[in-house]
Amino acid sequence: MQKIIVGLGNPGLKFQDTRHNVGFMFLDYLAQKFGLEFVPGRRDYFLAEGKLDGQEFVLIKPTTYMNLSGRVLQQYLTEHRLLPQDVMVVYDDVNLEFGRARVKNGGGSGGHNGIESFIQNFGTNRFARLRIGVGKSFDRKKILEYVLSPFTDQEIQNIIGPFEYCAILINAFIREGVDSMLNINSMIINDQKGKQEIPEEKKPDYYSEYAKLLIPPPQPRKPKPAPQEGEGYDSGSEGDYQSYDESDDENNPDDNKYNRYDDTGLGDIPFDDTGNR
């Protein structure tokens, strides 16, 4: 059964390095790591197909903008006789600090247009998600401006550590499924916290000490403040993703290649665990 990893983003040069496109950026990193190349799909997406230990997988970048991305994937699932349980969706999260990430299986949309589109088109919320933090220290009334702003050059370099960690999780998802992915993530987090060292016999061949060294243990969580007006994805303010017209830019195939990652001069990137919001 083929595994599907979907990265969310908006097509077009003007969105290339924006925070809202971190899902696209991670899939480009994966494709480079696996030696794959994206090509146009039969419908509104680019895809790169590969195989790990005999397990087929496909990386997909929808080109319909986020609010319609679920429709594209539902068509793909129907054509290939696959289920939502075979899908992993990677996307940005403004409620996580830059470089943190969380994985979970199922749950709500958190107001994210792309995830809401998946839930509506799949008819279920039971699919795996990988959320990558793009920073949460900004004026919540200007969320649209923030997510459409580009990463700095230093942030692009610094995000390699989290990308490498996420690649470990994707390896587990492809080869053994979502339960294995959640298990390896929990083991690494417990190891980083000093609660339990991972036995060598339990480390899969794709486990990377390189990633672990780049990502410090997760920090203690702070109590959530009371919600403020205009806060969050679905506040109804100008920062609401749903107020953004994502249909005014043409797709450009040349925007889908990221061959400029360097693994030198990396900063400290905090990484978080599997807890749900």
Q: What is the pLDDT of residues 64-123, one digit of tens each?
A: 878 888 998 999 999 999 999 999 999 988 888 888 888 889 888 877 888 889 999 999
> Quick one: pLDDT at residue 202?
72
Per the structure block, which two tokens stand in for 50? 């590969």
Mean pLDDT of 250-275: 35
Pick the more confident residue, 200 or 242.
Answer: 200
CATH 3.50.7.10 at 3-219+227-256, yes or no:
no
| The token pair that represents 40 in the structure block | 């146009």
pLDDT value at residue 183: 85
Q: Which residue has the higher pLDDT, 264 or 211?
A: 211
Only one residue has tokens 């900063």, namely 267
267, pLDDT greater than 50: no
**Which residues are catalytically annotated?**
20
- Domain edges within the chain: 3-219+227-256
Q: Are strands 3-7 and 55-62 parallel, antiparallel or unpaired?
A: parallel
Are residues 133 and 158 in contact, defined by beta-carbon separation less than 8 angstroms? Answer: no
Instruction: Say if residue 203's pLDDT is above 80.
Output: no
Query: pLDDT tens digit string along 157-194?
Result: 888 888 988 998 999 999 888 998 898 888 777 777 76
pTM over 0.85: no
